[in-house]
Amino acid sequence: MNLRSCRILCLSLLLSAGMAHAELMIGGYPEIGSSSHPLRQFSANAQGSDAPVRTLGGPASALDSPANASYESGEGLLYVSDFYGQTIRVFPAFAEGDVAPVRIMQTPLLGQPRASVPIPALDELIVIAGNCCILTLPLHGSGSNVPPLRMIGWGGNGGVTELNNPSSLAWFPTTDEVAVMDYDFGNFATKLVFHSRLGGGQVAPTRVLKSVHTENAAGFAYSQAQKRIYLLTFTTNGDGSREGQIRVFAESATGQDAPLYTIEGAATQLGFNASSYQSGIAIDTDLNRLMVGVTGNGNPADNRAIVFDLAASGNATPVQVLQGTQLSTGYLGAPFAVPNDKLFADGFDD
């Protein structure tokens, strides 16, 4: 067999084995006494206290508290929201070890950034900024004073935008809306607030999803393919422990609309103790998985990532549960999915 034939055969075997897939990645906030936290990626088959397959972090990375990140597949980049670092740090998606970002994005309006959504077709990065607002930056912006394209401002108590302290973010291409999870000023009633992507300043939402069904929401994810919104919530037991749920809504849900179905029950392992809290939810579009983070809030042994098949409903059993200090020695952030590029290497030189 000649070299060319061998290469073709080896590549065919790799592809037929279905080895190209995304895998869970997660960051967070540093433990007390530390000023840095890495991003860690785990195999799709990892369970329990299995070690990560790669880690990104260290002095050169300048990562402090990478609690949220988003993967942009077109250019193969990670847009990392460094909360306490008040910076968007952009890395090659498959970077490993202590590497410097390829560029940074800062602006006085950014403050402490949370979730972001890159939209390559529009050359935009939408990000939750300053714990208050929805900020749009040029996707390829770089430096310490990136000029914003627009910003939907804080609403506060009774303000028109209905933005207070938003977290979780998604873009709905069909309606060209951006949505955030938020809560009312004063009574803390949790809700999903939708705005036109093109909105700026003090503008009213296009719709708001708020009712008993959105109580105690801790994050959400959106699947354009499934046309579904996945809302992470919890209820409190008499002893203070919590039962987690994933309430699944139609993408057009508004007002007091009820969920289509809910993932909940003992088998889901979504329950958590009184000192822990839910850190985020995301979708792995390659493996069709739903990923949930629960942080031990200072007790890293209680850190968990719970992963379901995207089609799960009711009292479903997770396909993957990771737990402990391998996830983080500090506080977990929101999970996200990134391909493991090592699976694409053919090992040959031309």
Per-residue pLDDT reduced to its tens digit, 118-167: 999 999 999 999 999 999 999 999 999 999 999 999 998 999 999 999 99
Among candidates 122, 55, 52, which has minimal Cα distance to 91? Answer: 55
Check pLDDT > 50 for residue 89: yes
**What is the Cα–Cα distance from 277 to 303, expressed in whole angstroms?**
9
**What is this structure's pTM?**
0.92
Check pLDDT > 60 for residue 346: no
Check pLDDT > 80 for residue 332: yes
**In the β-sheet with 116-119, what is the strand arrangement from edge to edge?**
116-119, 124-129, 133-138, 150-152
How is residue 93 written in tokens?
């998606």
**What is the Cα–Cα distance from 219 to 216, expressed in whole angstroms?**
9
Share of the chain above pLDDT 70, in %: 91
Q: State residue 341's pLDDT score.
A: 65
Within its chain, how far is the Cα of 104 from the centroid?
A: 19
Sign, CA dihedral 20-267-290-78, equals negative
Q: State residue 339's pLDDT score.
A: 87
CB 262 within 8 A of CB 252: no
Taking only the tens place, the pLDDT of each residue in 109-131 is: 999 999 999 999 999 999 999 99
Helices marked H in 28-185 — which ranges? none
Who's near 27: CB < 8 A, 6+ residues apart? Answer: 37, 38, 39, 40, 63, 65, 66, 67, 68, 69, 80, 328, 333
Tell me the CATH architecture of domain 57-204.
6 Propeller (2.120)
* Other C-beta atoms lying within 10 Å of the C-beta of residue 103: 15
Check pLDDT > 50 for residue 306: yes
Phi, psi dihedrals of residue 32, rounded to the nearest 5°: -55, 130
Taking only the tens place, the pLDDT of each residue in 40-81 is: 999 999 999 999 999 999 999 999 999 999 999 999 999 999
Beta strands in 139-276 (DSSP E): 150-152, 167-172, 177-183, 190-196, 207-209, 219-223, 228-236, 242-250, 261-263
Kindly state the greatest CA–CA separation across the chain: 73
Taking only the tens place, the pLDDT of each residue in 176-218 is: 999 999 999 989 999 999 999 999 999 999 999 999 999 999 9
Check pLDDT > 90 for residue 2: no
How is residue 238 written in tokens?
């008499």
Write down how long the chain is: 350
Q: Which amino acid belongs to residue 273? A: N
**What is the Cα–Cα distance from 346 to 324, expressed in whole angstroms?**
34
Q: Residue 9: which region, alpha, beta or left (left: phi > 0; alpha: psi -120 to 50)?
A: alpha
Q: Which amino acid belongs to residue 57? A: G
**Helix/strand/coil for 86:** coil
